[in-house]
């Protein structure tokens, strides 16, 4: 996967006429790290990949998907691809392929884990809590604590982040349109 991702990153960067240093300046990551990514010698966190993808005018999901076009997506539970968001947090992609207008991910977060940086991007997002308790912090608003069954929809153009505030593992659906990861 790292080699395929690296090739896609290099191809997209070069098609935009960017040097590695210019891309590093745009996404806030180091030029040596981006070089390792392009050479398939490193695998980024999903948050780092989101930063690179945004700087390249795409989404992490597009970069991680196979290069095929399909108007339907079927993801079997045992076959869903998972990606590490950060310490104690994983994302399971529930929509495959790059050509959909919506993205749905199942996020599993251990006690005390959080999204890390606050991200912003085009579109809207909905968070729906399946298990546990999380808090969503949205720039310009008070943090909102969510319990099982709660849904929170907001403009994803505002910087936002989340954290597990419960005593155990939390799970929530993260739905975004257009796709952001």
Q: Closest Cα partner for 20 from 31, 4, 7, 8?
A: 31
Query: What are the angstrom distances between the C-alpha of 169 and each of 12, 17, 89, 108?
Result: 37, 44, 10, 7
Domains of the chain are 2-64 (1.10.260.40), 77-177 (2.60.120.10)
Q: Which residues of the chain have pLDDT under 70?
A: 1, 66-70, 97-99, 181
**pLDDT tens column, 80-126:** 888 888 889 988 888 876 567 888 999 999 999 998 778 888 889 99
What global pTM score does this model have? Answer: 0.66
């Amino acid at each position: 996967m790292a080699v395929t991702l690296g090739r896609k990153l290099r191809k997209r960067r070069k098609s935009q006429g960017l040097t590695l240093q210019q891309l590093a300046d745009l996404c806030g990551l180091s030029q040596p790290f981006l070089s390792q990514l392009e050479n398939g010698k490193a695998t980024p966190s999903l948050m780092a990949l989101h930063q690179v993808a945004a700087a390249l005018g795409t989404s992490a999901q597009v970069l991680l998907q196979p290069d095929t076009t399909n108007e339907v997506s079927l993801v079997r539970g045992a076959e869903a691809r998972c990606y590490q968001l950060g310490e104690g947090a994983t994302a399971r992609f529930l929509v495959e392929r790059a050509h959909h207008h919506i993205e749905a991910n199942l996020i599993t977060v251990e006690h005390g884990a959080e999204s890390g940086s606050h991200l912003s991007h085009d579109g809207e997002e909905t968070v729906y809590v399946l298990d546990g308790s999380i808090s969503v912090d949205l720039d310009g608003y008070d943090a909102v604590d969510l319990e099982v069954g709660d849904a929170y929809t907001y403009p994803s153009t505002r910087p936002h982040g989340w954290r597990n505030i419960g005593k155990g593992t939390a799970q929530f659906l993260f739905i975004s349109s257009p796709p952001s990861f």
